[in-house]
Structure 1
Amino acid sequence: MTQPLTQDRAHAAIRTALRGFATEADLETLDPGENLREALELDSLDFLTFVERLSGDLGTRIEEADYAKLSTLDSTTEFLLTRG
C-alpha cells in the first residue's frame, strides 16, 4: 500500500527536481510565493526538465494543462498534495 504524500516529501521532491538550476542556499531563501521561473531564471526547457524530474521522482504524470499550478513553491506543493 502506497503511503500518502506528505508536505515534507513534496518539498524534498521539489528541491531535488530544482537541483542544477539553483543552489540549496538559493532554494532556502526563495520566497514560497515567488514565481519559480522568474526567480530561478528558468527557460521553457529548464521548466520542462523540472516537471519531468518531479514526475519521475513521485511516479506520477504531470499534464501540460497543470503546468500553471507549478508556478511557486507553495502552489507546486499544494498541487502535489492534492494529487496525493
Structure 2
Amino acid sequence: MTKDECRKLVIDIISDIAPDEDVTAVKPDVRLRDQLQLDSMDFLDIVMELRKRHGIEVPEADYMQLASLDSCAEYLTPKFQAKA
C-alpha cells in the first residue's frame, strides 16, 4: 500500500465515523484535530477501525503518530507493507 492509499484509507474511516465532517479539503500536513471536529472518542474509533477493517494494531504509545494525514501515512505504510 502506498502513502497516498493510506491517506485515502484514513479519510474513508473519518468519513464513516464522522459523516458530518467535510473531508474534501483536509490538509495532509495539519493535525486532523485542528481541522475537523474530532474528539478523543472519534480518534479511538479511527484506531479501532484500523484494527477491525485492516488488522492494523496501533499501540497507545503510538497514537501521536496519527496526528495528521501525512504522519498517518508515514506510520501506517510500513505496517501495511509488513502484512503483504
1:64 Cα deviation after fit: 0.5
Aligned ranges for residues 4-23 of structure 1 at < 5 Å? 5-19=1-15, 20-21=17-18
SS at match of 1:27: coil
After superposition, the Cα gap between the structure-2 partners of 1:14 and 1:66, relative to the gap in structure 1 and judged at 3 Å, is same
- Could you tell me which residue of structure 2 aligns to residue 44 of structure 1? 40
The Cα offsets for residues 5-60 of structure 1, whole Å up to 9 and x where unpaired, read as 22343123212210142557x32211111111221121111110111112222212
Gaps of 5+ in 2: none
Matched residues, number = 79
Please, which runs of 5 or more residues in structure 1 have no aligned partner?
A: none
Give the alignment partner of residue 23 of structure 2, picking from 21, 27, 32. Answer: 27
CA distance in 2 between partners of 1:75 and 1:8 (Å)? 12
Percentage of matched positions with identical amino acids: 34
User: Which residue, out of 63, 66, 72, partners 1:70?
Assistant: 66
TM-aligned CA distance change 1:23 to 1:78, over 3 Å: farther
TM-score, normalised to structure 2's length? Answer: 0.78
Residue 23 and residue 8 in structure 1: after superposition, are their counterparts in 2 closer, same or farther (change >3 A)?
Answer: farther
Matched residues in 2 for 1:72 and 1:22: separation? Answer: 18
